[in-house]
Structure 1
Amino acid sequence: MDRQLAKSYVGKKVILNEGKNGQYIGLLEDIQTEPRKIWVGTLRILGLYSFPEIDLDSNQLSSPLYSENEKVFCSGNKIDLFNQDFTFSYKESIDFALKNKWNEINAQKEEAESTLTMIQQELKRRKAVHLLNEDIFVYYSLVKKNRRFYVYDEEKQEALSLDGCPFEFEIKIKDHWEKAHVVNEATFELEDGNQFELQHGDRLRLNKSQFDPYRILLNELEGPALQALERGLQQLGIFHEHNVYCHNTLLIQLLSSVEKYAFDGVNFLSYATDNQQFSVQHHYEREIQEGDHDITYDRFEFTADTGERLITTYATQFSKD
């Protein structure tokens, strides 16, 4: 905006452009126009016009540079015309800027999905679509150590015990990958009920989608324990799809303690609907028994933001508590 136009906009709303840090609606309160220098404006911030760019590496959203009614002194080359109605509060302007950012990224996602579909179709035509599946799996070797079986990731040099393992693997049967779960030691059962005994060095693979902490938790729970969780959720009128957060400490212990046979702790779960928030504390105990059924204890403590509370439990035997 040139200085002559800026003089006519004193007392009116303008846009302050801060580049990657977003755009802001401000009231142009005053300008200074020194000869042969870019004019400088004084603005009072009214709201956010466009949300700051999102840094994917930081794993968190940036905050607006300016607060409500903050005075800003800036170069005139950062100020643009604004000829629209602006009736939002400062808070509402941030809400709508976030919504617009969502729409922007969602449109990019839809465009990317369309492009990915075209690439997939071309790979199908070239009979090479199997290459896409390789990246969604982690590949392991079966190893036996001290009479116990583990799966070993050679790339990361990490081992995972098969005792009480909650994951669904895929094993190779006649050159085809088939879904299977661990029955006992190196015995795996396919979806059709047939069982196969694997040997030291055999290859397995695992779909990475199973690394979602909430899905892992659901897979780890025994049938009656899962029913106890779902019974509590249903009483509060919520379901698995309402889960928004899962801090799975049991998973952390299982992955980091290859030689450990007993685990206890608390998982923290959060659920949300349009109208309510819920928290669940999952107290658990696990004891892996050599040649016998494992000992498990699960206690779910539900709390709604209305103050409603309930508890459900499951145990193969009484807890140590």
Structure 2
Amino acid sequence: MNRQQRLKLYDIQLRAYTEGSIEQINDQWIFFDEETDEAAILDDNLQQEIEIFRLNRWKKGILVEPGKVCIGKEVLILRDHDLVRIRKHLIYSLERLLDGINDDAFFQFITTLNSLHFSINDCLYCYNHLSFLTDDHRKDGVNFMVFDNQEQICNVQHHFCYYEKTNDRFEFTLNTGKRLIIEKLIS
């Protein structure tokens, strides 16, 4: 699995975007979150990925300056009441953890989490013990993650041992008591 395939898995995650509409008020673009009705200044997302709904489809681009989105070589000018999606940022420690595990463990973790109706974007907390280990020869320990999909809570413990063999074990526990364990061992 290459970086492109990993990014594709990120793209298909549920709740990956905050959706809403925009309005220009007092020469500032304001984003109104569809779910929470909270208002935020759109300029806080300059140089970040944003999607605009035009001609019955989402167009992905970069907010290059207030009121302008660059989509490839085309520049779209924003209009009042445009529907907009802004990609949510992952918790930094979770992002580092996902970057640090091998492709098989990454794929198994994401697909199992998704099968339980959770997304990596539902992460409330991540303790990444792996990022504190400096010994390149042997790394072992446990990472902790908590996910909330608005209906259930899922706690994940990632037990890892990277020494002569690579061992990743993920223990998923839902607030309903349901438990699921997956393990990947590479010689």
Work out whether 1:113 is the aligned partner of 2:44: yes
Counterpart of 1:306 (choices 176, 180, 184) is 176
Q: Which amino acid aligns with 1:283?
A: H
Counterpart of 2:96 (choices 196, 200, 216) is 216
Are the structure 2 counterparts of residues 303 and 216 from structure 1 closer, same or farther at C-alpha, using a change threshold of 3 Å?
same
3-state SS in 2 of match to 1:307? coil
Are the structure 2 counterparts of residues 223 and 210 from structure 1 closer, same or farther at C-alpha, using a change threshold of 3 Å?
same
Segments of 4+ in structure 1 off by > 3 A?
A: 111-114
Share of identical aligned residues, percent?
29
Write the distance in 2 (CA, Å) between the matches of 1:121 and 1:226: 35
Partner of 1:275: 151
Write the distance in 1 (CA, Å) between the matches of 2:118 and 2:153: 10
* Greater fraction helix: 1
Equivalences for residues 101-250 of structure 1 within 5 A: 107=39, 109-110=40-41, 113=44, 121=65, 212-250=92-130
Gaps of 5+ in 1: 1-101, 123-208, 288-293
- Normalization by structure 2: what TM-score? 0.52
Write the distance in 2 (CA, Å) between the matches of 1:284 and 1:272: 23
Are the structure 2 counterparts of residues 111 and 235 from structure 1 closer, same or farther at C-alpha, using a change threshold of 3 Å?
closer
Structure 1 residue 310, shift from structure 2 partner: 0.6
CA RMSD of aligned residues (A): 2.9
Q: Is the 8 A contact 1:295 1:316 kept in 2?
A: yes
Structure 1 residue 224, shift from structure 2 partner: 1.1
Cα deviations by residue, 1:202-224 (Å, 9 ceiling, x for unpaired): xxxxxxx8991111111111111
3-state SS in 2 of match to 1:214? helix
Write the distance in 1 (CA, Å) between the matches of 2:44 and 2:99: 29
Q: Is the 8 A contact 1:232 1:311 kept in 2?
A: no
Structure 1 residue 111, shift from structure 2 partner: 6.5
Counterpart of 2:141 (choices 254, 265, 269) is 265
Is the radius of gyration larger for structure 1 or structure 2? 1
Higher relative contact order (CA 8 A, sep 6+): 2
Write the distance in 2 (CA, Å) between the matches of 1:226 and 1:111: 33
Counterpart of 2:165 (choices 295, 308, 311) is 295
